[in-house]
Amino acid sequence: MRRLPAIVAAVAVFLGGASSAGADVSVTVDRTGVATGLGKRFTVRSIFANPGPGEARGLVAHLNIASLRPGVYVDPEDWSTSRTRYLDPIPAGGSATVRWSLQAVNAGTFAVYVAVLPQDAAGRPPTVGRTVRVTVAERRTLDAGGILPLALGVPAAIGVAAGGLALRRRRLVSPG
Amino acid sequence: MSAERAAPGWWVVLQQELRDVWLGGRGPTLALAFSLILSAVAYLVATNTALNFLEQREAVGLIVQVSVAMGGLLVVIAAADTVSGERDRGTLEALLLAPVPRRQIAAGKLAAALSLWPAAFLVALPYVWFLGRGVGVVGDAVVVGLLVGTLLALELGALGLLLSLFAGSNRVSLALSVFVLLALFAPTQLSAGAQQGWAGDLMLRANPLTAGVHYVGRVLVDGHSFGRDADLLVAPAVAVIALCAVVLAVSGRLALRPGGAR
């Protein structure tokens, strides 16, 4: 019975080693800059490496986007529909790669970054990779000039034709 | 000795139906409503600052998709009225007494209902030209719109006629046709996330309407070649063949009351 506390402590140490925290995992990204156009799609790959001696499990990777200039509203959900990934266990010395698909829905300069944190992350800071600077150029949008005559003219022309037909029909069926 | 060759029965029915649709006022009224909807969409796309986020290719894609969808609606409305409308107006008996095979009556009526689609497409052309000028997509938009719109018009026309053959009243036929059309379009309203994965992709490709509309987007918005996403046209083509075959098979039993009872 004297050995019981020692066995419990050894098991605890073993289990602790087997499920490394997010702080033990490093995050790298495949690029640090993206130049694209409004509405275009692009991808960022992040690599989660586990240099520790034990398997890293229960990790959550998360992507976020922020504008680097004030006055630009950013809704990250518009940029990427899948911003949170639950990673498979990463073996000791191994790594996992996640491909993030994004669409540039605002023009301006933005920062995209990836963080990883353990599922039992209470009170522990996440590990964050390098920032990817995304520059989104404006695109040529529609020239509204001339739309009003078209928007009114086409229905008016069809309306006149339909009215003429209705008048002709009425004359044909009216007595005399 | 030169006996005049009589026109085929379906052609006679088609001519009569075309007169009813276009000179009777229904066709021009539907075309007017269609042009008003396209005008509203084009005006919003071109002038609203929130929507003006759209790049020109996307605007052209949107107007072609709306044209194809609304053109299908016009055809299904006209087709849903073909037989059940005659029943409700009490004119089906006279039609059935005409010396024309019943399949040819159905074919003539279907062809007349389909005439709304080319008319709708002609109405859409000025909007497509306006939104697509300067970015070189007008030609692609015309070709892809005509291709997908014709497939959808054929399948929706056959569907409307099929429902009209079996519906007890014109009201039921019209309601069912519009309901089916809306149900087929419902998946386009799913979020982008729900359309991802194998299940979402399968649903998109198996539904002839969503597949056709996505094909338009792939060609006009993403700039893909016509052949790259041609597999998206499989479902619309299969639906056309299947529905037209069913209509041909069952229209021989066209009767005063749905189900074949006289």
Q: How far is B257 from B164, CA to CA, in rounded Å? A: 11
Read off the pTM: 0.68
CB contact under 8 A, B24 and A169: yes
Query: Across the interface, which of A82, A139, A147 has its CB nearest the CB of B47?
Result: A147
Most A CBs within 10 Å, among B36, B39, B190, to test the A interface: B39
Q: What is the CA radius of gyration of chain B?
A: 20
Interface test with A, best of B19, B23, B26, B32 (most A CBs within 10 A): B32
Inter-chain residue contact A142 with B38, CB threshold 8 Å:
no
Would you kindly state where each structural domain of chain B is located, as residue ranges? 17-251
Write out the E strands in chain A.
Answer: 26-29, 33-37, 41-49, 59-67, 84-86, 95-103, 108-118, 127-128, 132-137
Instruction: Identify whether the C-beta of residue A127 lies closer than 8 Å to the C-beta of residue B103.
Output: no
CB contact under 8 A, A148 and B196: no
In our burial notation (b when 16+ CB lie closer than 10 A, e otherwise), range A31-64 reads eeebeeebbbebebebebbbebebbbbbbbbebe
pLDDT in tens, chain B (262 residues): 444 567 788 899 999 999 989 988 889 999 999 999 999 999 888 876 555 556 778 889 999 999 999 999 999 999 999 999 988 888 888 888 888 899 999 999 999 999 999 999 999 999 999 888 877 789 999 999 999 999 999 999 999 999 999 888 889 999 999 999 999 988 877 766 666 677 778 888 899 999 999 999 989 887 888 998 999 999 999 999 999 999 999 988 887 776 554 4
The ipTM estimated for the assembled molecules is 0.82
**Best residue of B22, B41, B53, B190 to probe chain A, by most A CBs closer than 10 Å:** B53
Backbone phi, psi, residue A47, to 5°: -115, 125
Q: Which residues of A touch B36 (CB under 8 A)?
A: 155
